[in-house]
């Protein structure tokens, strides 16, 4: 195992996406992440599964981890978890608020057994408050945070969802960063702490620089903000492109590339402020000019005039894009149950402590026996736990 987090042990009680996607980043960076699953396994094992126990989503969020399967409603199962926690650096959980406390593993209880623990709690909207008990999924947060409003249709004003679980995945990134920050603090002080993150707070922070900018200055007392006038995708005669012409120099380059240099001095578009005020008119005009040109011809003209631009790729095209290939951003692993499976490499590259290549995801309970042996359970202990239904250990079951 390699990476900057080598030697860090994480007990992962998370399921679905937001929590597992956070802890998989820790695993990618070298941490020993032990995924504690119920006897039935994480629900994402079966979501769009292409093989029993494995789905692409599960593999992406759980690669490189070890899996043990326990009945945490039983006293022996809870005792196993306590032994794991006592030897851990980090515990991560994304139960609904109050559930982990009822199970007996809330932060205040855990820190009595392991004062140095970094304890990560991920929730939908927060641990307390008027919505705390509500069930929450990604679209709920998109609606509540204002993201759906930002995506609203510019003509009808109808809010729209992003067609990806952006709140879940962004929360995972914030959570992984927060855990590493808490580990740095522990390295200085020796003290652990409770790290609490809600998807709602994450998305408000994420949207603030531009999406909530109209509401930032209190004195402006802004009541409404315009929906985005354009999704920044333009249709050429044979495909789609996107480009950015923000500065005066880029606007001039765009006008030259579109063979309309007269627009540079047009009072409606001569300054950034004027282009913003007349953006709908500007974008409609640009749309009409672009639709008459081929994609490759237009990109060549834009690049020649130093205007940032790219073709809009279909997802299958991304895999063969020359920059993606150059970056070696996608690897192929031999995932048991699925066969050759593509995975995105960890985005951060470390010069002194390089992360390993993407590894396979574990089958349910794959590492139960090994992990229990590491924390002092004998073969006889494990046989008894298997017979009482406390653990799921396929190796012992099949023996």
3-state secondary structure of 332: strand
Residues 179 and 71 grouped into a single domain: yes
Short-list 137, 129, 161, 145, CA closest to 200: 145
Residue 5 φ then ψ, to 5°? -100, 15
| More confident position, 152 or 224 | 152
Residues 247 and 125 grouped into a single domain: no
Residues 297 and 338 grouped into a single domain: no
* In a domain? residue 317: no
Tally the domains of the chain. 2
HSE-CB for 53 with a 13 A CA cutoff:
15
CATH number reported for the structural domain that contains residue 64 in this entry? 3.40.50.10540
Q: In the numeric block, which tokens belong to residue 173? A: 């990134």
Q: What is the pLDDT of residues 199-213, one digit of tens each?
A: 999 999 999 998 988
Domain boundary among 285, 311, 337: 311
- The length of the chain is 399
Is 60 exceeded by the pLDDT of residue 179? yes
Residues 94 and 191 grouped into a single domain: yes
Helix or strand holding residue 82 (H, E):
helix 75-86
Q: What is the pLDDT of residues 119-144, one digit of tens each?
A: 999 999 999 999 999 999 999 999 99
* In a domain? residue 218: no
Q: What is the pLDDT of residues 364-379, one digit of tens each?
A: 999 999 999 999 999 9
* In a domain? residue 152: no
Residues 334 and 305 grouped into a single domain: no
Looking at residue 219, its pLDDT comes to 82
Q: Mean pLDDT lowest for which of 45-49, 61-65, 101-105, 383-387?
A: 45-49
Residues 292 and 335 grouped into a single domain: no
Domain boundary among 276, 311, 346: 311
* In a domain? residue 62: yes
Angle in degrees, 0-180, between the axes of helices 295-304 and 248-257, rounded to the nearest 10: 140
Residues 366 and 293 grouped into a single domain: no
* Beta pairing class for 90-93 and 234-235: unpaired
Short-list 258, 240, 378, CA closest to 310: 240
Q: Which domain holds residue 122?
A: 9-147+171-207+327-398
| More confident position, 219 or 183 | 183
| More confident position, 61 or 396 | 61
CATH number reported for the structural domain that contains residue 301 in this entry? 3.30.1540.10
Looking at residue 301, its pLDDT comes to 98
| More confident position, 223 or 95 | 95
Is 80 exceeded by the pLDDT of residue 224? no
Looking at residue 229, its pLDDT comes to 59
Residues 129 and 200 grouped into a single domain: yes
Q: What is the pLDDT of residues 48-95, one digit of tens each?
A: 777 889 999 999 999 999 999 999 999 999 999 999 999 999 999 999
* pTM score, whole prediction: 0.93
How far is it, in rounded angstroms, from Cα 68 to Cα 22?
A: 18
Q: What is the pLDDT of residues 228-255, one digit of tens each?
A: 557 889 999 999 999 999 999 999 999 9
Residue 294 CB partners (closer than 8 Å, separation 6+): 236, 237, 238, 239
Angle in degrees, 0-180, between the axes of helices 166-189 and 138-145, rounded to the nearest 10: 90
Looking at residue 22, its pLDDT comes to 98
Is 60 exceeded by the pLDDT of residue 265? yes
* In a domain? residue 113: yes
Residues 73 and 183 grouped into a single domain: yes
Looking at residue 399, its pLDDT comes to 46
Residues 276 and 239 grouped into a single domain: yes
* In a domain? residue 31: yes
Mean pLDDT of 138-160: 93
Looking at residue 48, its pLDDT comes to 79
Residues 306 and 332 grouped into a single domain: no
* In a domain? residue 161: no
* In a domain? residue 366: yes
Short-list 66, 64, 89, CA closest to 9: 89
**Residue 232 Rama label (left phi>0; alpha psi -120 to 50; beta):** left
Q: What is the pLDDT of residues 17-48, one digit of tens each?
A: 999 999 999 999 999 999 999 999 999 998 87
How far is it, in rounded angstroms, from Cα 28 to Cα 348?
A: 10
Domain boundary among 278, 311, 344: 311
3-state secondary structure of 344: strand
Name the β-bridge partners of 331. Answer: 343
* Beta pairing class for 309-311 and 240-243: antiparallel
Q: Give just the sign of the alpha carbon dihedral 172, 177, 182, 187.
A: positive
How far is it, in rounded angstroms, from Cα 207 to Cα 85?
A: 35
Residues 294 and 365 grouped into a single domain: no
Q: What is the pLDDT of residues 276-335, one digit of tens each?
A: 899 889 999 999 999 999 999 999 999 999 999 999 999 999 999 999 999 999 999 999
């Amino acid at each position: 195992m390699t990476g900057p987090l080598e030697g860090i042990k994480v007990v992962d009680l998370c399921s679905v996406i937001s929590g597992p996607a956070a802890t998989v980043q820790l695993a990618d960076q070298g941490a020993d992440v032990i995924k504690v699953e119920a006897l039935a396994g994480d629900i994402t094992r079966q979501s769009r599964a292409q093989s029993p126990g494995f789905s692409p989503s599960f593999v992406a969020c759980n690669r490189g981890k070890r899996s043990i399967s326990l009945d945490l409603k039983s006293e022996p199962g809870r005792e196993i978890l306590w032994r794991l926690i006592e030897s851990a650096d980090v515990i991560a959980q994304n139960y609904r608020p109050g559930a982990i406390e009822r199970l007996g593993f809330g932060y205040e209880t855990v820190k009595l057994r392991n004062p140095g623990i970094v304890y990560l709690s991920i929730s939908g909207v927060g641990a307390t408050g008027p919505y705390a008990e509500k069930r929450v999924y990604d679209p709920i947060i998109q609606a509540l945070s204002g993201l759906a409003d930002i995506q609203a249709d510019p003509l009808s004003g109808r809010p729209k969802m992003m067609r990806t679980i952006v709140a879940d995945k962004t929360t995972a990134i914030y959570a992984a960063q927060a855990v590493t920050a808490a580990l740095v603090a522990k390295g200085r002080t020796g003290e652990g702490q409770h790290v609490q993150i809600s998807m709602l707070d994450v998305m408000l922070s994420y949207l603030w620089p531009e999406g909530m900018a109209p509401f930032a200055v209190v004195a402006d007392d802004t009541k409404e903000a315009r929906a985005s006038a354009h999704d920044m995708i333009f249709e050429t005669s044979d495909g789609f492109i996107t480009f950015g012409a923000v500065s005066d120099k880029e606007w001039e380059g765009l006008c030259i590339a579109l063979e309309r240099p007269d627009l540079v001095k047009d009072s409606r578009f001569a300054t950034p402020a004027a282009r913003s005020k007349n953006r709908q008119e500007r974008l409609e005009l640009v749309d009409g000019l672009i639709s008459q040109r081929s994609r490759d011809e237009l990109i060549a003209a834009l690049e020649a005039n130093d205007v940032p631009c790219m073709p809009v790729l279909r997802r299958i095209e991304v895999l063969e894009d020359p920059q993606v290939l150059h970056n070696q951003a996608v690897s192929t692993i031999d995932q048991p149950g699925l066969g050759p499976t593509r995975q995105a490499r960890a985005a951060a590259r470390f010069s002194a402590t390089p992360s390993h290549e993407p590894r396979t995801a574990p089958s349910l309970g794959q590492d139960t026996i090994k992990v229990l042996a590491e924390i002092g359970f004998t073969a006889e202990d494990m046989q008894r736990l298997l017979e009482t239904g406390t653990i799921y250990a396929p190796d012992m079951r099949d023996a």
